[in-house]
Amino acid sequence: MKVRLKNGTEKHFRTVWMKGNSVYMINQPLLPHQFKIFKCKTYPGTIAAIKDMTVRGAGAIGATAGYAMAQAAIESLACRDETKALAYMLKAREEIRSARPTAQNLFYAVDRVFKAIAGEKNGIKAMAKAAVKEAMQTADDDANACRKIGEFGMEILEGRKNVLTHCNAGWLAFVDYGSALSPVYAAKAAGKDIVVYSDETRPRLQGANLTAWELFNEGIEHYVIPDNAAAAFMREGKIDVVIVGADRIAANGDTANKIGTYEKALCAKANGIPFYVAAPTSTIDVKCRTGKDIPIEYRSEDEVHWVSGVTESGKRTKVRVTPEGSKALNPAFDVTPEDLILGIITEKGIIYNSHGLSLGRML
């Protein structure tokens, strides 16, 4: 999607890409105040970028993990011996898979690239070449899937103008286009008048920092609202539809997304507002029967205690907002039961929830 640069020009960027042996990504913690590209030269560096959320969002994490696996395959060339090279790549696969536990796209991409490696029988160089090719294809598939999500998702915006979203599920969360925001971008391109209400999404403020930045760059009217204001806006009739993303979807349709999503689904149900999840089918984990089987990542309590931003003079700083002696709990995700979800928008179409969601048939 497009980014307005300081010199006044606009340029198209993907969230993450690979060139040579290095992985490049938009440095998301610096947004919206500073736009920079972050370079990872080795697969451990790319893992670190996933862990510290230099890159974040289901599809973007997946593509980055696929690239990390490709980097490991390239680095394994130094082993010379094929047995040692495979051992190196197996070790890398497990390290990459352990980077973050909830996002299904990470496991999907790593396993897809490793399968391409294992299927190559013509030596280490051929394995590395196959890994890079598959990682590139995985990223392309993610972008194409999100574009189709936008095309199918426009259907739910017919007669609806005001969209609430939670966290960031725009193009920064995927390789391009995004999931929850993809229908918004498609509708805007088709000339529809759309207004987006973006939950700030504490503690990391992805809605305030990332979603708002995306919408600003795309020229879409939007309002950042406090996390605890959504219910009031729903009751006042200011919200027509809720669209959120997903980090993992169980086989029965239960969905893990950024903490606070379950709360928004309950509020939507109470106010008779349709609640949709948008995600590519790579986010569906058919081995995970229900939401109870989805591992929920707990992150550092420092993310709750401290808030980052810029001063009036433009200096980046961090301030503590809690008492020194207080403890904090910081679950990164929660699970929304399938009975609160009206439908799931995928690149294969919209799965409407009439008598329970059953997702195996979509794969």
Residues tagged active-site: 247
Length reported for the chain = 363
Cis link prior to 203 (omega < 30° from 0)?
Answer: yes
Residue 193 CB neighbour total at 10 angstroms: 10
Those residues whose C-beta lies under 8 Å from the C-beta of residue 170, and which sit 6 or more positions away, are 1, 178, 180, 181, 182, 185, 210, 211, 214, 215
Instruction: Identify whether the C-beta of residue 49 lies closer than 8 Å to the C-beta of residue 64.
Output: yes
